[in-house]
Amino acid sequence: MDAADIVASLLILGIIVVSLLSNVVVLICFLYNPDIRKQVPGLFILNLTFCNLLLSVSNMPLTLFGLITTGHPGGIALCQIVGFLDTFLTTNSMLSMAALSIDRWVAVVFPLSYHSRIRHRDAVIALGYTWFHSFCFSTVATYRSWVGYHHLYASCTLCNVKAKGTGTQFIIFTVALHSLTFLLTLIVLCVTYLKVLKVARFHCKRIDVITMQTLVLLVDIHPSVRQKCLDEQKRRRQRATKKISTFIGTFVVCFMPYVITRIVELFSTGPISPHWGVLSKCLAYSKAASDPFVYSLLRHQYRKTCSLLANKILKRSPLNSSSLRMEISTGQSNNPNNPNTTNNIQLPTNKPLGQ
């Protein structure tokens, strides 16, 4: 092992630890908080958490083992199973992110009819499609022996070495896979979240107008209070932009280098640096560690649940299980099943969107 392999091994080890801990916390919050379970987006988050956990205990450890031993991790059968999971879980998680963005778009653009447009049955149908879509691509790749150990990524994944004699078919399959997963999800994320941002800015302008009219009427207001109101306006305008940029930015940063490398690999005649291949794979793995924070743990509902659970574990307050659940429900009673707070997008409105 050289220095680059050591750094990559430590990076993957850190990703495994963070991914396992954060996704387990999300799962605990989902199981413990009945309000989270009642919300439709909770099903998408649960599916995304499941994919991230399975990826963390199957694919990442074998990649780490491959880096340490600089060789094939396990037998051929094991590598094929892990390669199947690599395609299945990555595709499934991407489509789950697309489903979450569509849910947020409907919740923000059609707040009054959200519950009639997006129901649990619709979420189950959407998840059924994501599983079917992922299973089809994974099964085809495994059946055609297009999965195996790829030295460029030190992983059991799609491998064109197995595609000798069927190079054109493998190229078509790989391009179709990434077009119908990464590219499709990226388009959905951009379209839906940009529409959400447009609505957020519209409501920001409405609130700004009301605030400025109030400041004009309050001629005797202290300058510090006036400045505080203006600063709050600025923060309100930036809040939605930052959050939506996080949703799209983390997806692009984590997945795009790996997808581009896979496409370049198909048509390039020269060798690709294995250090870059491993780095791109590490970036793709890091999405499993960042998803819990991007979609769940930074939300008030999850933070409150974690805080209450921590207090109970540390015995800071004499809460039993029933009283803890009651406090969680009470925290949501003012706005039950609010669709606009589900994906950590806190829109700056004057209550027409449910905030």
Q: At 156, give phi and psi (nearest 5°).
A: -90, 105
Beta strands in the chain (DSSP E): 147-150, 155-158
The 10s digit of each residue's pLDDT in 135-174 is: 999 999 999 888 988 888 888 898 875 445 557 888 899 9
Number of domains composing the chain: 1
The 10s digit of each residue's pLDDT in 89-137 is: 999 999 999 999 999 999 888 888 888 888 889 999 999 999 999 999 9
pTM here is: 0.80
- Could you tell me if 156 and 79 are in contact, meaning their C-beta atoms sit under 8 angstroms apart? yes
Quote the CA–CA distance of 197 and 203 in Å, as a whole number. 10
Predicted confidence at residue 127, as pLDDT, reads 94
- Is residue 26 assigned to a domain? yes
Task: Please spell the DSSP secondary structure of 111-132, one letter per residue.
Answer: STTHHHHS-HHHHHHHHHHHHH
Q: At 268, give phi and psi (nearest 5°).
A: -80, 140
Structure-token pair, residue 249: 């930015």
Predicted confidence at residue 192, as pLDDT, reads 93
- Could you tell me if 108 and 65 are in contact, meaning their C-beta atoms sit under 8 angstroms apart? no
Tell me: pLDDT of 346 over 60. Answer: no
Predicted confidence at residue 352, as pLDDT, reads 40
- Is residue 148 assigned to a domain? yes
The 10s digit of each residue's pLDDT in 300-344 is: 889 898 888 888 888 764 444 445 455 555 555 555 445 444 444
Q: What is the C-alpha end-to-end distance of the chain, expressed in Å?
A: 53
Predicted confidence at residue 224, as pLDDT, reads 65
Paired with 147 in beta bridges are 158
The 10s digit of each residue's pLDDT in 30-48 is: 998 888 888 889 999 999 9
- Is residue 81 assigned to a domain? yes
Predicted confidence at residue 232, as pLDDT, reads 66
Tell me: pLDDT of 71 over 80. Answer: no
- Is residue 141 assigned to a domain? yes
Burial tier of 199 (Cβ tally within 10 Å: 0-12, 13-18, 19+): middle
- Is residue 330 assigned to a domain? no
The 10s digit of each residue's pLDDT in 118-128 is: 888 999 999 99
Quick one: CA torsion of 103, 105, 107, 108, rounded to 10 degrees? Answer: 160
How much is the mean pLDDT over the chain? 81
Total Cβ atoms within 10 A of residue 250: 18
- Is residue 317 assigned to a domain? no
Q: Sorting pLDDT into bands at 50, 70 and 90, what band is 66?
A: confident
Give residue 234's domain range: 3-309
Structure-token pair, residue 342: 């589900």
Quote the CA–CA distance of 297 and 304 in Å, as a whole number. 10
- Is residue 314 assigned to a domain? no
Quote the CA–CA distance of 243 and 228 in Å, as a whole number. 22
Predicted confidence at residue 354, as pLDDT, reads 38
- Using left for φ > 0, alpha for ψ between -120 and 50, and beta otherwise, residue 354 falls in left
CA-nearest of 283, 245, 247, 248 to 262 is 283
| Residue 289 belongs to domain with CATH number | 1.20.1070.10
